[in-house]
């Protein structure tokens, strides 16, 4: 249910259940988490793109697929589905020390919004929209929705979107900080590819450390963040890419980063 393709340092993961708007099944979440782990360990990969097949990005939990029903068909408790499936996927997205782009090609709903928000950057087709659909079925934002939304758009807007379940157009998403970029539908695939190729040519170790330090900084005070920056800089300062960046600057030529 996940297509995984690698070329030119970019791993492209496509959620592939287009008839169901790529809604999540247990299998799909497990495949995605495994693919991210694999991409995280593969030195060749310097950027990851997550997108959806067909019209939608992802419609959240497949409401027709009861995850982990027991032999008698009894439904599992939602808390356990989150603990066992979704939460590890979200942690994997955050802990993979490579840039992850959500290429939001179409609608994102429910946990599909949360997964897009757990990625580092969001490039959004003007055809796409976001809907925090949880409340529409009597649920609360999960998979990090209650964490990411207020941090990206501020508490007031986050509460509004979570409580109303209103649709957020691509343009509005850009305006309120949910989307980094919005593109015309015809240019969307090329623009997403361009961004991925650009990131894959940058110093991957430094980008991984930026990711780790900034996310950690959300839970730290200034003194702790300063210390973490010093720690990260010590690592970055010992990379080949740092040496190359310095040398290229002094020689007045463009750098050729290798990701190590």
Interface residues with ligand LHQ (CB under 6 A)?
A: 20-21, 23, 59-64, 78, 81-82, 86, 107, 109-111, 131, 133-134, 137, 139, 142
Nearer to ligand LHQ (CB atom), residue 124 or residue 206? 124
Other Cβ atoms closer than 10 A to 206: 20
The string over 108-119, giving b where at least 16 C-beta atoms fall within 10 Å of a residue's C-beta and e elsewhere, is bbbbbbbbbbbb
Q: How far is the CB of 4 from ligand LHQ (least distance, A)?
A: 22
Nearer to ligand LHQ (CB atom), residue 59 or residue 100? 59
Which residue is it, tokens 């959806």?
52
Nearer to ligand LHQ (CB atom), residue 31 or residue 142? 142
Q: How far is the CB of 67 from ligand LHQ (least distance, A)?
A: 7
Q: How far is the CB of 162 from ligand LHQ (least distance, A)?
A: 12
Other Cβ atoms closer than 10 A to 54: 16
Nearer to ligand LHQ (CB atom), residue 110 or residue 259? 110
* 90 Cβ neighbours under 8 A, 6+ residues apart: 114, 115, 118, 143, 144
Q: How far is the CB of 50 from ligand LHQ (least distance, A)?
A: 16
The string over 155-174, giving b where at least 16 C-beta atoms fall within 10 Å of a residue's C-beta and e elsewhere, is eebbeebbeebeebbbebbb
Nearer to ligand LHQ (CB atom), residue 63 or residue 185? 63
Query: In the structure encoding, which two tokens stand for residue 161, read together?
Result: 């979107």
Q: How far is the CB of 139 from ligand LHQ (least distance, A)?
A: 5
Q: How far is the CB of 73 from ligand LHQ (least distance, A)?
A: 16
Pairwise CA distance, residues 88 & 70, whole Å: 22
Spatial contact of 55 and 188, defined as CB atoms under 8 Å apart: no
Nearer to ligand LHQ (CB atom), residue 10 or residue 124? 124
């Amino acid at each position: 249910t996940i297509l995984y393709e690698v070329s030119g340092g970019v791993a492209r993961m496509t959620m592939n259940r287009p008839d169901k708007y790529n809604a999540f099944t247990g299998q799909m979440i497990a495949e995605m988490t495994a693919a991210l782990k694999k991409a995280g360990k593969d030195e060749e990969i310097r950027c990851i793109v997550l997108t959806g097949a067909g019209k939608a990005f992802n419609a959240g939990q497949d409401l027709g697929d009861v995850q982990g029903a027991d032999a008698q068909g009894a439904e599992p408790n939602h808390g356990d589905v989150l603990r066992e499936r979704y939460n590890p996927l979200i942690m994997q997205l955050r802990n993979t020390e490579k840039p992850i782009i959500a290429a939001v090609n179409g609608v994102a709903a429910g946990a599909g919004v949360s997964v897009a928000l757990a990625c580092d950057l969001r490039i959004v087709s003007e055809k796409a929209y976001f809907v925090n659909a949880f409340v529409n079925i009597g649920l609360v934002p999960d998979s990090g929705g209650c964490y990411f939304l207020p941090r990206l758009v501020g508490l007031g807007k986050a509460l509004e979107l979570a409580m109303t379940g209103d649709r957020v157009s691509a343009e509005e998403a850009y305006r309120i900080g949910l989307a980094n970029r919005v593109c015309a539908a015809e240019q969307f695939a090329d623009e997403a590819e361009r961004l991925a190729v650009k990131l894959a040519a940058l110093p991957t170790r430094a980008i991984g450390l930026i990711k780790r330090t900034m996310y950690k900084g959300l839970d730290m005070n200034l003194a702790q963040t300063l210390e973490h920056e010093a720690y990260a800089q010590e690592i970055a300062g010992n990379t080949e890419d740092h040496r190359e960046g310095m040398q290229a600057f002094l020689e007045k030529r463009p750098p050729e980063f290798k990701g190590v």
